[in-house]
Structure 1
Amino acid sequence: MGRPELPLPQLHAFVVLAEELHFGRAATRLGIAQPPLSQQIRRLEDKVGHPLFSREPGRVSLTPAGRELLPAAQQALTRLAEGLTAAREAGSGRAGRLRIGFAASLALTVLPSLLRTFRERFPAVELDIQEMTTTPQLAALRERTIDIGLVREPPADDAELDFGTVLTEPFVAVLSTSHPLAAQRVVRVVQLADCPFVLLPRAVGPPLYDQIADLCVTAGFTPQVAQHAVEWQTVCALVETGLGVSLAPESIRRIRLKGVAFRRIDPDTVRTRVAVAWRKNDSNPLVPGILAALNQAPPVKL
């Protein structure tokens, strides 16, 4: 046998009358006349199967059944009110959950100011921050497991995703401080021709890898990759040990390692693009909020 359904107007009328214990005052609070209030209470009593109020001349009191129902009814109405508020906040983009993917190197530049600005504007939003490289982020966006991505070198065009440029930055040479070229203020790319390289695998970000390879090819050589590492911090750590050199986005210089030197390169004509990515026609009301916060965040100083 199923549970009897208790319509919310009847519960509301019951709680107000239980608090007032006076039909006239309760009707005034509810904004209705006394007869409709009495009808709501009788319908509720019919569903419960027992009187909820003892009615005596000049006196109204709760019956044992009424006293038992009151806490549950109050809790139900409170939870409904909270749920309606949460639903309105989520629907308006002021609350809810937003899943953000980001390339690890952007934790040094774009991410902190973005999160501070967004938290100031939307303190009730729960943020789920996931570190992943560009290619997995694009897949996660298409699979709807993240809502926003902060990526490097996104594709020029995509049928499912939109992109907005956050910043562009030049490349720098990454050298061990003991490397002879570390004594120079500017390193010509051709000077790296005979050096082993430490690079990210092409699979984690093909356009960025190709930019670095093209810098070398333009200088007249193909980089000889001695070691791959998935994160730029690991690349720098391997460079520090003397395993090789690297070319990296300028923001990587924020990785502070005593044994690593970052030097400007010549030619300095290539820029890598950092972009925000999101699904086209996404109905999540939080997405416009994070995009607006990104536009209002303080500019990144490299």
Structure 2
Amino acid sequence: MTRPELALPQLHAFVVLAEELHFGRAAARLGVAQPPLSQQIRRLEDKVGHALFTRTPGRTALTPAGRELLPAARRALDDLADGLAAARAVGCGLAGRLRLGFAGSLALTVLPGLLRAHRDRFPDVRLDLRELTSAPQVAALHDRGIDVGLLREDPDDPDLATRAVTVERFVAVLPAGHALATHRRVAVADLADEDFVLLPRAAGPRFHDRITGVCAAAGFAPRVVQRAVEWPTVCALVGAGLGVSLAPEGVRRLRLAGVAFRPLTPDTARTEVVAAWRRDDPSPLLAGFLAVVGSGGS
């Protein structure tokens, strides 16, 4: 048995007439003349196969079929109104889901503030978070696995647009018992003969090259003896005496036992954090997130 297709204008007319129980008042409320209202009701009755109203001089009443239909008609109209409101919210970037990649160390600095500010401004947008180093974020953007990424250093990719989020100084990461840990500041050149623990270049080529560039400016290439993907691991290996490292200043917040963080001299080395997204993505959800980034997370 096929189900009859009920037109929403007919359901609307039916609900209004059921509430008014008067064709003149219902027509006025709908902003139509009485004949078109009567036609809508007759078409609906034809689809139902039964009369929905009894009509006697001076009185209109619902039939049993009409009383049965009324709650379902109201639900259908309410569901449509809710659906339209939800669609408008998504279309305006006020609701939906945005997939955000982020470098793990940013959870120590800018990420919490951005998340709070975004939640305050867009409470109905769900952020799906994925912790990824920079290179996997770029790959996930190309594969449409994430919508926007927070990564260290501009990936210089023609298919991606970027926006600066913040800039961090580099600091020296030393075993707490290291002779240089007694200094208030550490000259980069004084690390020339040290073993280094660094992130693998594949995790973020441009960020890795930024670190090695700091060393090159001081006249040496770092002698890398250990590599680790995450900064807590890098710092733990430094604390175990396996070497030293250079890290973004925010990594100091890890406060690991046996590890000392010292500012560098000259104090010129910086790493930039950027938001990156696909140039062909017109998503209003993305635009909302970038507006929060542009406001500095405030």
Q: 1:48-96 CA deviation, whole Å, 9 max, x = no partner?
A: 1111122233322222222222222111111110111111111122222
Equivalences for 1:73-152 in 2 at 5 Å? Answer: 73-152=73-152
Report the CA distance between 1:220 and its aligned residue. 4.0
- Name the structure 2 match of 1:200: 199
Moved more, 60-69 or 177-186: 60-69
Q: 1:100-146 CA deviation, whole Å, 9 max, x = no partner?
A: 11111111222122222222222222222221111111111122222
> C-alpha separation between the residues in 1 aligned to 2:202 and 2:147?
22
Q: 1:1-26 CA deviation, whole Å, 9 max, x = no partner?
A: 53221111001111111222222222
- Name the structure 2 match of 1:66: 66
> C-alpha separation between the residues in 2 aligned to 1:217 and 1:168?
20
- Name the structure 1 match of 2:273: 274
> C-alpha separation between the residues in 2 aligned to 1:8 and 1:291?
39
- Name the structure 1 match of 2:264: 265
Report the CA distance between 1:46 and its aligned residue. 0.6
Asked whether the 8 Å contact 1:117–1:296 carries over to 2, the reply is no
> C-alpha separation between the residues in 2 aligned to 1:279 and 1:21?
56
> C-alpha separation between the residues in 2 aligned to 1:236 and 1:23?
79
Report the CA distance between 1:214 and its aligned residue. 2.7
> C-alpha separation between the residues in 2 aligned to 1:171 and 1:22?
78
Q: Does 1:290 align with 2:265?
A: no
> C-alpha separation between the residues in 2 aligned to 1:76 and 1:193?
73
TM-score by length of 1: 0.92
- Name the structure 1 match of 2:224: 225
> C-alpha separation between the residues in 2 aligned to 1:71 and 1:102?
48
Moved more, 275-284 or 238-247: 238-247
Equivalent pairs: percent with the same residue? 65
- Name the structure 1 match of 2:186: 187
> C-alpha separation between the residues in 2 aligned to 1:253 and 1:107?
12
Structure 2 unaligned spans of 5+:
none
Report the CA distance between 1:187 and its aligned residue. 1.6
- Name the structure 1 match of 2:255: 256
SS in structure 1 at match of 2:158: coil
Asked whether the 8 Å contact 2:118–2:297 carries over to 1, the reply is no
Asked whether the 8 Å contact 2:100–2:128 carries over to 1, the reply is yes
Structure 1 unaligned spans of 5+:
none
SS in structure 2 at match of 1:265: strand
After superposition, the Cα gap between the structure-2 partners of 1:18 and 1:83, relative to the gap in structure 1 and judged at 3 Å, is same
- Name the structure 1 match of 2:171: 172
- Name the structure 2 match of 1:25: 25
Moved more, 52-61 or 86-95: 52-61
Give the root-mean-square deviation of aligned CA atoms.
Answer: 1.9
SS in structure 2 at match of 1:81: helix
Moved more, 95-104 or 184-193: 184-193
Runs of 4+ deviating beyond 4 Å? none
Q: 1:142-198 CA deviation, whole Å, 9 max, x = no partner?
A: 222222111111223x22111112222221111121222211112222332333322
Report the CA distance between 1:298 and its aligned residue. 5.3
Query: What letter corresponds to residue 150 of structure 1 in structure 2?
Result: L
- Name the structure 1 match of 2:41: 41
Asked whether the 8 Å contact 1:148–1:278 carries over to 2, the reply is yes
